């Protein structure tokens, strides 16, 4: 059913304001979203803000604190995969996706400021999209922030924007995290059914913390590597006669690998199937406060991403290995890979020492200093003022 249209000129909703959305860390369940699988992200305290003021001329103006001398201007009717292009496509794409879905949203002046590191694999793009989407929901009176159903709708439209306008073939986990996460909880996201479950995630109560290590190895999703892996998975699913790799269970895996035959496809499918299984094993470990098992699952995930999915890099591998050597219960790369961040489950009073050891290891290699920091599970998108 098409959504009911809210006139862009509705005066009761045309108030400028500031909205924000968080970056995310995925605890486990990497490269599973576009395979119909499971993921377990948390929202970060670091957020992207969008200051939005409606316009009546049908023209979008976008500025950013990161690009002080640049204003991107594009008519709403002219937004496409080539216009405006660049970083502003993530903003313009949200307007385009909402309008394509039948929502009447106004043109606007949009100013972006962000504390989510760009290129770190913490989903700065989804934070940007979801902050803008939250603003448009309020400004156009769409009321999509009121419950998880509406928030899931916005998250999916942000995914469409990123796929079709920004040109990044992401699977939707990042946008779901930015929209749906709750403080003190991880989000168990079933990417096949869309079902979400909020899992308590209070490491401090157990003397633990989550250490994020930004390796400063630049991460990008539009250079073809991400798309190539998605293509291999989709082709493998067709070969196996299933809609997505979610339909392949661990018990089915040996026969599925024999049927595929080709070594790269076998490795990619092996990662996806075992990673989906690790998500619920990790959830069970959290519910039972079994953090030793949770840590082992994180490390197994990293090994699978490194060896079978081949999306790690030397910086991520060194960060994970050093954290484990310094006593972390588990460590893994997080995000799309090819750079970005590593996360480690550590005793709270050891976090500084573990972070310092990683910095020292990078310096020994002559690499740029990484940035370690601890995080807690934060809230999803919403209005700030």
Q: How many other β-carbons are positioned within 10 Å of the β-carbon of residue 330?
A: 26
Token pair listed for 91: 């903003």
> Around 112, how many Cα atoms within 13 Å sit in the side-chain half-sphere?
31
Q: CA–CA separation, 127 vs 203, rounded Å?
A: 24
pLDDT band at 221 (very low <50, low <70, confident <90, very high): low
Q: Per-residue pLDDT tens for 41-56?
A: 999 999 999 999 999 9
Cis peptide before 84 (omega within 30 of 0): yes
Closest to 127 measured CA to CA, from 137, 117, 138, 139: 117
Q: Per-residue pLDDT tens for 225-265?
A: 888 999 999 999 999 999 999 999 999 999 999 999 999 99
Q: In what order do the strands lie in the sheet with 38-39?
A: 38-39, 185-190, 196-200
Pairing outcome for strands 59-64 and 107-114: parallel
DSSP category for residue 121: S
> Around 175, how many Cα atoms within 13 Å sit in the side-chain half-sphere?
30
Q: CA–CA separation, 286 vs 178, rounded Å?
A: 22
| Whole-number average pLDDT of the chain | 94
What pLDDT does residue 117 have? 87
Q: CA–CA separation, 282 vs 274, rounded Å?
A: 12
Closest to 201 measured CA to CA, from 33, 44, 352: 44
What pLDDT does residue 219 have? 63
19 close to 49: Cβ distance less than 8 angstroms? yes
**What are φ and ψ of residue 202, in 5° steps?**
-120, 85
- Cα dist. 119→7, 44, 222, 368 in Å? 37, 15, 11, 15
Distance between alpha carbon 70 and the CA centroid of its chain, in Å? Answer: 27
Determine the average pLDDT of the residues in 318-325: 98
Closest to 344 measured CA to CA, from 354, 335, 336: 354
What pLDDT does residue 95 have? 98
Domains in the chain, CATH or no CATH each: 13-200+379-383 (3.30.230.10), 203-375 (3.30.70.890)
What pLDDT does residue 170 have? 84
Which residues neighbour 138 within 8 Å (Cβ) at sequence distance 6 or greater?
Answer: 13, 17, 19, 145, 383
**Residue 5: is its pLDDT beyond 50?**
no
6 close to 142: Cβ distance less than 8 angstroms? yes
Rg of the chain over all Cα atoms, to the nearest angstrom: 21
User: Catalytic site residues?
Assistant: 174
What pLDDT does residue 169 have? 84
Percentage of the residues of the chain whose pLDDT score is greater than 90: 88
Closest to 336 measured CA to CA, from 309, 318, 314: 309
**Residue 61: is its pLDDT beyond 50?**
yes
What pLDDT does residue 53 have? 97
**Residue 12: is its pLDDT beyond 60?**
no
Percentage of the residues of the chain whose pLDDT score is greater than 70: 95
**Residue 68: is its pLDDT beyond 90?**
no
Q: Per-residue pLDDT tens for 135-147?
A: 999 999 999 999 9
Q: Per-residue pLDDT tens for 261-312?
A: 999 999 999 999 999 999 999 999 999 999 999 999 999 999 999 999 999 9
Pairing outcome for strands 185-190 and 67-75: unpaired
Q: CA–CA separation, 221 vs 86, rounded Å?
A: 13
**What are φ and ψ of residue 235, in 5° steps?**
-65, -40
Residue 375 burial by Cβ neighbours in a 10 Å radius (0-12, 13-18, 19+): buried
What angle do helix axes 291-307 and 314-325 make, rounded to 10 degrees? 150
Determine the average pLDDT of the residues in 351-377: 98
Q: Per-residue pLDDT tens for 77-110?
A: 999 999 999 999 999 999 999 999 999 999 999 9
What pLDDT does residue 154 have? 98
Q: Per-residue pLDDT tens for 170-218?
A: 888 999 999 999 999 999 999 999 999 999 999 999 999 999 999 999 7
- Cα dist. 16→55, 106, 143, 297 in Å? 10, 12, 16, 45
Q: CA–CA separation, 262 vs 226, rounded Å?
A: 19
Question: Each residue of 303-318: b (16+ CB within 10 Å) or e?
Answer: ebbbebbbbbbebbbb
């Amino acid at each position: 059913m098409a959504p009911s249209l809210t006139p862009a000129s509705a005066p009761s909703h045309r108030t400028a304001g500031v909205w924000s959305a968080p970056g995310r860390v995925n605890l486990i369940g990497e490269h599973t979203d576009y395979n119909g699988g499971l993921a377990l992200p948390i929202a970060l305290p670091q957020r992207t803000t969008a200051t939005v003021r409606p316009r009546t001329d049908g023209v979008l103006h976008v500025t950013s604190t990161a690009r002080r001398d640049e204003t991107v201007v594009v008519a709403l009717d002219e937004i496409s995969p080539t216009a405006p292009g660049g970083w502003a496509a993530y903003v313009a794409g949200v307007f385009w996706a909402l309008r394509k879905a039948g929502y009447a949203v106004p043109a606007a002046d949009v100013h972006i400021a962000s504390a989510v590191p760009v290129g770190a694999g913490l989903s700065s793009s989804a934070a940007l999209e979801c902050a803008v989407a939250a603003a448009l929901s309020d400004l156009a009176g769409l009321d999509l922030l009121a419950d998880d159903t509406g928030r899931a709708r916005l998250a999916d439209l942000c995914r469409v924007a990123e796929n079709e306008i920004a040109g990044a073939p992401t699977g939707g986990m990042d946008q779901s995290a930015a929209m749906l996460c709750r403080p003190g909880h991880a989000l168990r996201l079933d990417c096949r059914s869309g079902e979400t479950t909020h899992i308590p995630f209070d490491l401090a109560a157990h003397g633990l913390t989550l250490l994020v290590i930004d390796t400063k190895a630049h991460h990008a999703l539009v250079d073809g590597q991400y798309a190539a892996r998605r293509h291999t998975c989709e082709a493998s699913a067709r070969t196996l006669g299933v809609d997505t790799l979610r339909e392949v269970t661990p018990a089915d895996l040996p026969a599925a690998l024999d049927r595929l035959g080709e070594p790269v496809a076998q490795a990619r499918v092996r990662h996806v199937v075992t990673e989906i299984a690790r998500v619920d094993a990790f959830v069970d470990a959290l519910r039972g406060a079994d953090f030793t098992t949770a840590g082992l699952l994180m490390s197994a995930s990293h090994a699978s991403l490194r060896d079978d999915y081949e999306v790690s890099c030397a910086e991520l591998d060194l960060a994970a290995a050093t954290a484990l050597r310094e006593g972390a219960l588990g460590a893994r790369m997080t995000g799309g890979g090819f750079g970005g961040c590593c996360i480690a489950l550590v005793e709270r009073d050891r976090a500084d020492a573990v972070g310092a050891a990683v910095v020292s290891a990078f310096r020994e290699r002559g690499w740029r200093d990484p940035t370690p920091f601890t995080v807690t599970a934060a809230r999803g998108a919403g209005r700030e003022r």
